[in-house]
């Protein structure tokens, strides 16, 4: 999430791919293929896992993420639903209560607003109010954020919305490794997970190692990934791929900021009350020992952290 600016995605992607140290046996895999393979392997490993959503079966998914799964597992485990997000999301949450592990696909998370009552009140809050004693192992997945040639009603990023809700885990994968490892972890997790995919990245290829291709592989939820991916361009900056919005890896973020006392956040969401604002708040709470913190957020040309920057300056002048 922190590593992509839409207009510079191609250049940034090239830097990321060239800087990683993969084994000679690494192969290329698209994000779409990574998601598909994760679904396939988890369905094969656990009979309780099933898919449901609009066009996930006969059409093989709006973005072909579920390609071939209907033919392999049949209509009882790959369920085409009517165009009624509130209905099939409620069924998915109910199935999770019963002990199954549904993966609910939305054509876009903008349409999930029709089902947000079940996501938050039925799934997240039941898990939260019971202190996790009532398990709700459901995954809500689909494309999130801006796409090509669509209006605002199809382009919103919901990371900050769902990231504010106790009882939910919220993931936002970047690469094929992220997509494969995090989706496997989400399906295996006992809590409800919102899995926010990037629509423009489905067809992008990334190298994956033999370790990532192992059926037992998964990526820990709540762990960010730091990398010196800009060094070849002569830029001395550590880039952190959050991967997990909730829980947020505050320790990795703060450890990075303490190296330079500087922070830039990049996200797709709106500038006010965003993920960047939460990151800035975590710096204020956890790293007040820093003498001078220069913080700036970015949404295109817009600043995410202007109010918090003023607060930082006010506090540090009084330390």
Q: What is the pLDDT of residue 287?
A: 75
Is residue 85 annotated as a catalytic residue, yes or no?
A: yes
User: What is the rounded distance in angstroms from the CA atom of residue 80 to the CA atom of residue 166?
Assistant: 30
Phi, psi of 225 (to 5 degrees): -130, 120
- C-alpha–C-alpha distance, residues 161 and 112, integer Å: 12
> Which sequence spans correspond to the domains of the chain?
6-213, 250-316
pTM over 0.75: yes
Q: Is 211 helix (H, G, I), strand (E, B) or coil?
A: helix
Report whether 101 contacts 46 (CB < 8 A).
yes
Pair of tokens at residue 294: 């220069």
- In which residue ranges of the chain is pLDDT below 70? 1-25, 288-319
Catalytic residue among 33, 42, 54, 85: 85
CA pair distance 112, 230, nearest whole angstrom: 36
The catalytic position among 154, 204, 211, 313 is 154
Q: At 173, list the tokens.
A: 């994968």
The verdict on whether 154 is a catalytic residue reads yes
C-alpha triplet 141, 159, 278: angle, nearest 5°? 150
- Name the residue with tokens 């409620």: 90
DSSP codes of every residue in 7-39:
GGHHHHHHHHHHH----TT-EEEEHHHHHHHHH
Q: Which pLDDT score, from 0 to 100, does residue 260 have?
A: 85
Cα–Cα distance between 202 and 178 in angstroms, integer? 12
At the topology level, CATH places domain 6-213 in Rossmann fold (3.40.50)
């Amino acid at each position: 999430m922190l590593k992509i600016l839409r207009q510079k995605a191609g250049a940034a992607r090239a830097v990321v791919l060239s800087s990683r140290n993969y084994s000679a046996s690494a192969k290329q895999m698209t994000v779409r293929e990574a998601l598909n393979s994760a679904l396939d392997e988890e369905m094969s490993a656990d009979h309780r896992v099933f898919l449901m959503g609009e066009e996930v079966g006969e059409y093989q998914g709006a973005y072909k993420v579920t390609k071939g799964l209907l033919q392999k597992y049949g209509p009882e485990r790959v369920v085409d639903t009517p165009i009624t997000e509130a209905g099939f999301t409620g069924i998915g949450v109910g199935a999770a209560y019963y002990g199954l592990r549904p993966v609910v696909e939305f054509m876009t998370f903008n349409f999930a607003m029709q089902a947000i009552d079940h996501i938050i009140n039925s799934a997240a809050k039941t898990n939260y109010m019971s202190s996790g004693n009532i398990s709700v192992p459901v995954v809500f997945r689909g494309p999130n954020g801006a796409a090509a040639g669509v209006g605002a009603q199809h382009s919103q990023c919901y990371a900050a919305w769902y990231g504010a809700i106790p009882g939910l885990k919220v993931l936002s994968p970047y690469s094929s490794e992220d997509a494969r490892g995090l989706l496997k972890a989400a399906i295996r997790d006992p809590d409800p997970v919102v899995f926010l995919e990037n629509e423009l990245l489905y067809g992008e290829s990334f190298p994956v190692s033999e370790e990532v291709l192992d059926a037992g592989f998964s990526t820990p939820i709540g762990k960010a990934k730091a990398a010196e991916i800009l060094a070849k361009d002569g830029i001395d900056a550590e880039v952190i791929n959050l991967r997990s919005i909730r829980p947020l890896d505050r320790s990795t973020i703060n450890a990075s900021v303490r190296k330079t006392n500087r922070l830039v956040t990049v996200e797709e969401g709106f500038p006010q009350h965003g993920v960047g604002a939460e990151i800035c708040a975590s710096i204020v709470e956890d790293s007040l020992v820093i003498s001078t913190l220069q913080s700036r957020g970015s949404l295109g040309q817009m600043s995410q952290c202007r109010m918090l920057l003023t607060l930082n300056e006010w506090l540090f002048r009084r330390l």
